[in-house]
Amino acid sequence: MLTQPTQLIIIGGGPAGYTAAIYAARAGLNPVVYTGPQPGGQLTITGDVENYPGYRNGVLGPSMMEDFKAQAERFGTIIKEGTIVKVDFSVYPRLLILDNGQQVTAQAIIIAAGASAKWLGLPSEKRLYGRGVSACAVCDGFFFKNETVVVVGGGDTAAEESLYLSKLCKKVHLLVRKGQMRASNIMQNRVSSKENIQIWFHTEVKDILGQETVEGVQVIHVKSNQLDVIDATGIFVAIGHQPNSAPFLPYIAVDDHGYIQVTPGRTHTNISGVFAAGDIQDIRYRQAVTAAGTGCMAALDAERFLQDQSVDSIFKNL
């Protein structure tokens, strides 16, 4: 049996979701946040965050997300555990199905379910995450200033990460699994022209070395099957991100990479009353501060939508 429709449901408990909740709650929209499988988003498995405004001494990722959550709750946001696994956007109010089988409906929805970094799948990678293993050079590169690091990947993202790190680090080793990069020609040229970036083709990561922190990367040269060790204090995995948009298909329009498409400069999706914010619609920046910004935008867009719905209802009843 379906419960009474909620005015606004926000899917995702990261910077975008909580910022949307803060704005929506202050506007009297009584938002309900479903935090998803990773409450707090990717920042909960991040160490020091030093590039988010307002924290002049930096802050631990989990602590920052607790601050976001507490601020949202202060204004009356209801926060619930649970993951949306399926939707029916052909009906109104919109129907959402949770992982426990519960069905809920909402007049407006903000999708802020984020994106997940793709990983190599090594046990050492998981064990040393946040202690030398990262998926974001902009987030963590500062901690490796004047040190030697490894970047894994052959696309534009890996090239961008390598170029960014080359400005901070003494040496950058770029590992490319195939005999050529997939990055655009201009990005390949930029990487090749950097003296402190060394490209290793036909090379894969065998293991990440170190007990408490990263001390090196064991690689295998796939053509010769020879093992090698690169001394490094950090490894940046840049093999792509996967937006968590699968539960919203086939209703929500996505691009070729699965990122939700929104109206340029706004957060409207192709479904009326459904908005998207944060990394799930952002293939380019993927930063906490940009996610928070789009969360604000989505809340304002949802507020306007719900106001228009109320006005329409009034005129229909006249």
Catalytic positions, please? 136, 139-140
- Separation of alpha carbons 52 and 18, rounded Å: 15
Q: Which residue, 243, 228, 237, is CA-closest to 162?
A: 237
- Separation of alpha carbons 305 and 273, rounded Å: 6
Q: Which long-range contacts (CB under 8 A, 24 or more apart) does 24-27 make?
A: 24/77, 24/110, 24/299, 24/302, 24/303, 25/72, 25/75, 25/76, 25/77, 26/75, 27/299, 27/303
- Separation of alpha carbons 142 and 271, rounded Å: 40
**Residue ranges with strand state E in 1-137:** 6-11, 32-34, 48-49, 59-60, 78-80, 84-88, 94-98, 103-111, 115-117, 133-134
Does the N-terminal peptide bond of residue 250 adopt cis geometry, omega within 30 degrees of 0?
yes
Q: How many CB atoms lie within 10 A of CB 147?
A: 15
Residue type, 135: A
Angle, CA 54 vertex, CA 52 and CA 60 arms, to 5°: 55
Distance of alpha carbon 172 from its chain centroid, rounded?
24
3-state secondary structure of 77: coil
Q: How many residues does the chain have?
A: 318
Q: How many CB atoms lie within 10 A of CB 224?
A: 9
Give the phi and the psi of residue 224 in degrees, each rounded to 5: -100, -10
- Separation of alpha carbons 158 and 153, rounded Å: 5
